[in-house]
A and B are shown apart, each in its own frame.
Chain A
Amino acid sequence: EAQVTQNPRYLITVTGKKLTVTCSQNMNHEYMSWYRQDPGLGLRQIYYSMNVEVTDKGDVPEGYKVSRKEKRNFPLILESPSPNQTSLYFCASSLQGRRELFFGEGSRLTVL
């Protein structure tokens, strides 16, 4: 089944404790992206990647890092999480030249 898989789906952590949210897609998509979703603010792009070893900042990159060492994986790293990073996170992917994004199921992160 074609899908974007995120882990963990739910996480409660404390300020300053590094964490990684993994994202993997099995559709051989070149493009991958991370969004965060907050009430009243909609979906905002954090980082995106056009292909392996190519990443770029979105609208709200502060406090986040990403890497794209392999085509299928695009992990989101929070080096020192803070409470304002409490949010619902979505990973998405698409084929090169296509703008239809396929989204994962989301990862709900709470930073205390």
Chain B
Amino acid sequence: GESVGLHLPTLSVQEGDNSIINCAYSNSASDYFIWYKQESGKGPQFIIDIRSNMDKRQGQRVTVLLNKTVKHLSLQIAATQPGDSAVYFCAENRGYSTLTFGKGTMLLVSP
């Protein structure tokens, strides 16, 4: 819901721009990472994942980059659309189906 967005870092972009959302993770032993999208009033929805033995993975309009050296993850969204406006969470795996979620970043796309 809308209260989820309070206290979050916010990225504001124009429609058609490329967006980059960053995430720092904490556990160097994490072997799997996921990006989730949460629209207002809804539950988080899976976007894309990446295993720790990869540096990059591409989906439809989205790319995830993993830099294990500095424990950094990024989500790139190409040609951002108003429908991409949401809160984006990275999550790292610390055991079977047990994910630790980041605090989230709010993406605002203006037409």
Please list the residues of chain A having a beta carbon within 8 angstroms of any beta carbon in chain B: 4, 31, 33, 35, 37, 39-45, 48, 50, 58, 88, 90, 92, 94, 97-106, 108
Please list the residues of chain B having a beta carbon within 8 angstroms of any beta carbon in chain A: 1, 3-8, 32, 34, 41-46, 49, 89, 93, 96-99, 101-104
**22 A-B residue contacts at CB 8 Å?**
A39-B7, A40-B8, A42-B89, A42-B102, A44-B101, A45-B99, A48-B97, A48-B98, A50-B96, A50-B97, A88-B1, A90-B44, A97-B96, A99-B32, A99-B97, A100-B34, A101-B46, A101-B99, A102-B46, A105-B43, A106-B1, A106-B43
Q: Which residues of B contact A37 (CB under 8 A)?
A: 4
Q: Is the CB of A43 within 8 A of B44?
A: yes
Given the known interface contacts A37-B4, A48-B98, A94-B97, the answer about A103 and B89 at a Cβ–Cβ threshold of 8 Å is no
